[in-house]
Amino acid sequence: MQALTTEQIIELFPQRKLRELAPPNGEAVDWGVLDYLGWVHPSGHLAYAVVPYADELKTLTLRRSANDEGPPRSHMCSWCNFVHRARGAAMFCATVAGTDGRRIIGNMLCSNLDCSVRIRNLTGDMPGFMPETINLEHKIARLENALLVFLSRANKL
Ligand SMILES: [Zn+2]
pLDDT at 67 (0 to 100): 64
- Which alpha helices (H) appear in the chain, and where do they start and end? 6-11, 18-21, 115-119, 136-153
Enumerate the domain spans of the chain: 6-153
Q: How far is the CA of 115 from the centre of ligand 1 (A)?
A: 4
pLDDT at 73 (0 to 100): 84
Q: How far is the CA of 143 from the centre of ligand 1 (A)?
A: 8
Q: How far is the CA of 104 from the centre of ligand 1 (A)?
A: 20
Q: How far is the CA of 110 from the centre of ligand 1 (A)?
A: 4
Q: Residue 145: what are its φ and ψ, rounded to 5°?
A: -65, -45
Burial of 151 (0-12, 13-18, 19+ CB in 10 A): buried
Whole-structure pTM value: 0.93
Q: How far is the CA of 122 from the centre of ligand 1 (A)?
A: 13
CA-CA distance, 66 to 70, in Å (whole number)? 11
Q: How far is the CA of 17 from the centre of ligand 1 (A)?
A: 27
pLDDT at 72 (0 to 100): 81
CA-CA distance, 40 to 44, in Å (whole number)? 6
93, 63 Cβ separation under 8 angstroms: yes
- What is the CB neighbour count within 10 angstroms for residue 35? 21
CA-CA distance, 70 to 32, in Å (whole number)? 37
Given CA atoms 99, 104, 107, 110 in this order, what sign does their dihedral have? Answer: positive
pLDDT at 19 (0 to 100): 95
Characterise 135 by phi-psi region: left (phi > 0), alpha (psi -120 to 50), beta (else).
Answer: beta
pLDDT tens over the chain, length 157 residues: 999 999 999 999 999 999 999 999 999 999 999 999 999 999 999 999 999 999 999 999 999 997 667 788 889 999 999 998 888 999 999 999 999 999 999 999 999 999 999 999 898 877 777 778 889 999 999 999 999 999 999 999 9
Q: How far is the CA of 78 from the centre of ligand 1 (A)?
A: 7
